[in-house]
């Protein structure tokens, strides 16, 4: 009966498609760079990435940062903060390290730059890992109700999960109030 459900459903679908595509793409680019042996300081970069996986900045600093960037009440606040997943990057990197070095060398000899090697050689043969990590990321974006409840006040940008959570919470509060009123009237 709620007219907001259809629009919220479209926001969820759009967030899942855009968020999954950008996340898999940027995570693959980062993983490819960190899998290259000629990258100076790649172990240091990996340590920095792993530290961010274990220790985040926290909810309040993240909120303040996103507010300072002017991303509150925008669609992009649902997509950009989760664009790079260190866990998924480690999976991508491990897969890329297992590929034969001759593939990259032959493409480089033929005149391909690193972006060309990634898009023309590496990603096309990485179908299983791309599909798996796309599924993980899509499920994350589809199920996430918490981000929108914190960063979005505009009802036109709320995804279906957040809307359903709000409806559920309002029903719980209504039921508790009715029970409280009923018990006080009986007493």
Residue-wise pLDDT tens digits, 109-146: 888 888 998 998 899 999 999 999 999 999 999 999 99
Confidence of residue 158 (pLDDT cuts 50, 70, 90): very high
CB under 8 A, 24+ apart: contacts of 155-161: 155/4, 156/7, 157/11, 157/73, 157/74, 157/75, 157/78, 158/4, 158/8, 158/11, 159/8, 159/11, 159/12, 159/15, 159/78, 160/5, 160/8, 160/9, 160/11, 160/12, 161/12
Name the average pLDDT for the chain. Answer: 90
- Sign of the torsion formed by the C-alpha atoms of 151, 157, 159 and 164: positive
Q: What are the start-end ranges of the E strands in 36-138?
A: none
Is the pLDDT reported for residue 25 higher than 80? yes
Q: Residue 169 pLDDT more than 90? A: no
Q: Looking at the predicted structure, is the pLDDT value of residue 173 above 90?
A: no
Task: Name the residue ranges covered by the structural domains of the chain.
Answer: 4-161
User: Which pLDDT belongs to residue 15?
Assistant: 96
- Looking at residue 83, its pLDDT comes to 93
Three-state SS at 158: coil
pLDDT the model gives residue 98: 92
**Is residue 174 scored above 80 in pLDDT?**
no
Dihedral sign of CA atoms 108, 113, 119, 122 in order: positive
Domain 4-161, what fold? MetI-like fold (1.10.3720)
> How far, rounded to the nearest angstrom, does the alpha carbon of residue 110 sit from its chain's CA centroid?
35
Band (pLDDT 50/70/90 cuts) for residue 22 is very high
pLDDT at 187: 59
């Amino acid at each position: 009966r709620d007219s907001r459900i259809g629009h919220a459903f479209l926001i969820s679908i759009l967030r899942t498609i855009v968020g999954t595509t950008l996340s898999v793409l940027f995570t693959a680019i980062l993983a490819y760079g960190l899998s290259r042996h000629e990258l100076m300081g790649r172990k240091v970069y990996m340590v920095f990435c792993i530290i961010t996986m274990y220790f985040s900045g926290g909810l309040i600093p993240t909120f303040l940062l996103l507010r300072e960037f002017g991303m509150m009440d925008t669609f992009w606040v649902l997509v950009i903060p989760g664009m790079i997943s260190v866990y998924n990057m480690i999976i991508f990197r491990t897969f890329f390290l297992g590929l034969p070095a001759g593939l990259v060398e032959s493409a480089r000899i033929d005149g391909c730059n690193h972006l060309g090697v990634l898009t023309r050689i590496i990603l096309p043969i990485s179908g299983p890992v791309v599909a798996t990590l796309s599924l993980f990321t899509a499920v994350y974006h589809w199920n996430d109700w918490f981000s929108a409840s914190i960063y979005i006040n505009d009802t036109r940008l709320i995804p279906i999960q957040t809307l359903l959570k709000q409806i559920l919470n309002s029903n719980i509060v209504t039921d508790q109030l009715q029970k409280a009123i009923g018990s006080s009237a009986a007493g």
